[in-house]
Chain A
Amino acid sequence: MDKDTLRRLEMLNQLSLTEAQKEDVIAFFEKRDSELSVLEAIDTENTERMVHVMPIMTVVREDVVKKQFAREELQKGAPDTDEGYWCVPRVVE
C-alpha cells in the first residue's frame, strides 16, 4: 500500500485522511497483508465459498403493496429538503 493507492481508496470511499492517519492506515494494511499468509496456508482449492452460514432457504414475499411511512416522517431528520425532495448541490450530467 502506497500513498497514491491510498489516495485513490480515500476518494472511492469519500474520505480524506490527515498525513498522520495515512501513516497509521498504511501500517495497518501492512500488518493485514502479512497476515494473509495465514489464509494462503489453507488449501481452499476444492472448497466453495460460504456467504451464508446457516441452511439455505428461499425466503420470498408475496407481491403486495403496503404503505407504512409518511414522507414527512422520513424527512424529519433530513439536512435539506424542498417540496418533498431531498436536496443536494447541483449534479452536472
Chain B
Amino acid sequence: MRYETVIGLEVHVELATKSKIFCSCSAHSYGSEPNEHVCPACCGMPGMLPVVNKRVVDYGMKAGLMLNCDINRTTTFDKKSYYYPDLPAAYQTTQWFAPVAVNGLVEIETSKGKKNIRIKQIHMEEDAGKLVHDIMEDTTHVDFNRTSVPLIEIVSQPDLSSAEEVEAYLDRLKNLLRYAKVAECEMAHGTMRCDVNLSVRPEGSDKLGVRTEMKNMNSIEAIKRAIDYETARHIDAIENGTEVLVQETRRWDDIKGKSYAMRTKETAGDYRYFPDPNVMPVIIDDDWYEGIKATLPEFPEVKRAKYINEYGLSEYDADRIAQSIALCECFEDACAVSKSAKDAANWMISDVMKTLNNKQMTYDMLTLNGKKLGELILLVTGNKVSRANGKKILVAMFDDETVNPEQYAEENDLILSDNTDLVKKVVGEVIASDPKSVADYKSGKEKALMALFGKCMKELKGNCDPQTLRNILTEEVNKA
C-alpha cells in the first residue's frame, strides 16, 4: 500500500525587538551572564504589571500580513498556567481567544511544483527561560534572560506532506519574515524553532491517522531526518503492527536518529487558559493598521521580476540580490543614484556580497548606505576614481558608516587628476628603463605590454584611469 504523510507545523519565531514583550528588560541576551536581563516582572516576583511593547504588535501584524493573514483588529492576551522551572510566574501570557492574525496562506515551491500552505493563526506570546542541566551536581540551573522575550507562533494547517515541503515552507517563512525585518529566524541561534505534528494514512484516504508531535529539532536537516524517521515508524506500526501508535509528544534525538516518547505528568495539557485581566485588549485602529501596511516590503518574487524586467539584470544576478531585503535596499538605492543597474549589480555581487562573505556576516547584516554606494559608482564611472581605488573606498565605507566616498577620496588622494602630462612623463621613463619589454612587445608578445602597464601604474600609485594609461602607453610604445 502507498501512504501519505500529513504534517502541520508550529513554528516559534523570536521577534527582533529591543526589549521584552511586557517589561523593559533587554530582549538580547546572547553572550550575557545568566539572569543579567531580568527584573521582578520577568522573574515572577509579585507587583509589577505587564505593559505591552508596541513593536511586538507591529511585528506580529507585519508577520501576519506577509503570510496573507487577516488581522484581528481587536487582539487580546490570555494566561496559560503550568508549573515548570523555566516559567517563573507559572503562567505564560499568550493569545488563545483572539490571536493577532488568522487564516493565512503561504506559497511554497518544490521539485513537484507550487503549493499553497494554509496558516491557521499567528499568535504573540512570551518565551520561557532556559534550563542548564548540571549532570554532576544533580541540579538544574535556571536562567530567566530569555523569559518574556517576544515570540510569534505560526500555526499551519496540516497541509504539508513531505520533508521537502517542510524545508521549502520553513525557508519561505524565514525569507518573508526577514524581508519584513521582524525576525532573524536562525534555527542555530534558537530564533526559529519548530514542532512537527505528523500522521500517516493510506494514499487517498480522507481519515487522519494517529498524530504525534515532535520537538527538539535544532536544524532543518534534523527536522527532515525526524520526519523521515517518524514517517517510517508510523508506516511500520500500521503495516507490521510493531507498536501501537498513540497521540503523544515525542522528543527527537538527532545523535541517535530516533524519536522518544516524552515523560509527561498526568495533568499535562490542562492549561486553564483565561483572559488576562491585566492586559487590555489591543485595538488596532485604521491609522495603525495602514501605517504598518505601508512599511511592508515587496515580496521576494516581485523584487526578482522587477530586477529582470525593469532593471535588466540577468536571472542569476536578480536571484542573488533578491535573496536578502538588505541587499535589495542597498542595490535599489545605489541604482537610484548611479542610474546604472548593471554597475550597481556588479558592485553588489563582486564587492559588497564578497566583503560580507569574507567578514562572515549574513547578507541581512548589511548596513551599507546604498545612496553612498551609488555616489561611489558615479565616481568610478565618471573616471574620477579608479576601480581599484573605488574598492579601497568601499572598504572604508564598510568600516565606518559616516564615510562619504567623494570626501574620502579627496582626503586620501584617490582622485584621478587630469594628469596626461604626468602620465606621458612616467610612460616615457618606464619605456626608457625597460627596452627589453618594449622589444618583446614589438616582436608580438602582448604580455609584455601588461608588464609595462603595471610598472606605470605602480609609479603613478594607481592614480590614473586605466583606459587613459593604456591608450598613452600603446601610443608611446609604438612610437618608440
Chain A: residues with CB nearer than 8 A to chain B?
8, 11-12, 14, 49, 51-52, 56-69, 71, 74-75, 82-93
Contacts and interface: CB of A to CB of B under 8 A. Distances in A.
A19 B307 CA distance: 76
8 closest A-B pairs by beta carbon, nearest first, are A85-B141, A63-B55, A60-B54, A66-B24, A86-B142, A51-B275, A84-B34, A12-B267
25 contacts: A51-B275, A51-B277, A56-B280, A57-B280, A60-B53, A60-B57, A61-B54, A64-B18, A65-B19, A65-B26, A67-B25, A67-B26, A67-B37, A68-B39, A74-B38, A74-B39, A84-B33, A85-B35, A87-B140, A88-B139, A90-B134, A90-B138, A90-B139, A91-B131, A93-B251
Q: How extensive is the interface on chain B, given as a class?
A: 35 or more
Nearest to B22: A61
A93 to B, nearest CB: 7
Interface in B16-64: 17-19, 24-27, 33-40, 43, 45, 51-57
Interface string B242-276: 00000000010000000000110111001000010
B329 interface: no
Contact of A89 (B17, B139, B267): B139
B402 to A, nearest CB: 24
Nearest to A85: B141
Contacts of A8: 266-267
A84 B143 CA distance: 8
B256 to A, nearest CB: 15
A88 B140 contact: yes
Given A63-B19, A63-B53, 10 more contacts: A11-B265, A14-B83, A59-B52, A62-B53, A65-B24, A65-B27, A66-B24, A83-B141, A85-B132, A91-B140
Contacts of A61: 24, 51-54
Contacts of B135: 90
B142 A87 contact: yes
B297 interface: no
Contact of B40 (A11, A12, A62, A69): A69
Which of B36, B39, B140 gathers most chain A CB within 10 Å?
A: B140
Interface in B127-147: 131-135, 137-144
Given A63-B54, A65-B26, A83-B34, A58 B275 contact: no
Contacts of B52: 59-61
B142 A85 contact: yes
B168 interface: no
Nearest to B19: A65
Given A60-B52, A61-B51, A88 B142 contact: yes
Contacts of A68: 24, 39
Contacts of B83: 14
A82 B140 CA distance: 10
B270 A12 contact: yes
A90 B139 CA distance: 4
A88 B17 CA distance: 30
B281 interface: yes
B282 interface: yes
A68 B40 CA distance: 10
Nearest to A77: B45
A59 to B, nearest CB: 6
B283 interface: yes
A51 B37 CA distance: 32
Nearest to B56: A63
B85 interface: yes
Given A58-B280, A63-B53, A90-B133, A71 B38 contact: yes
B55 A91 contact: no
B61 to A, nearest CB: 12
A64 B33 CA distance: 21
Nearest to A10: B267
A74 to B, nearest CB: 6
Given A60-B51, A63-B55, A71 B36 contact: yes
Contacts of B134: 90
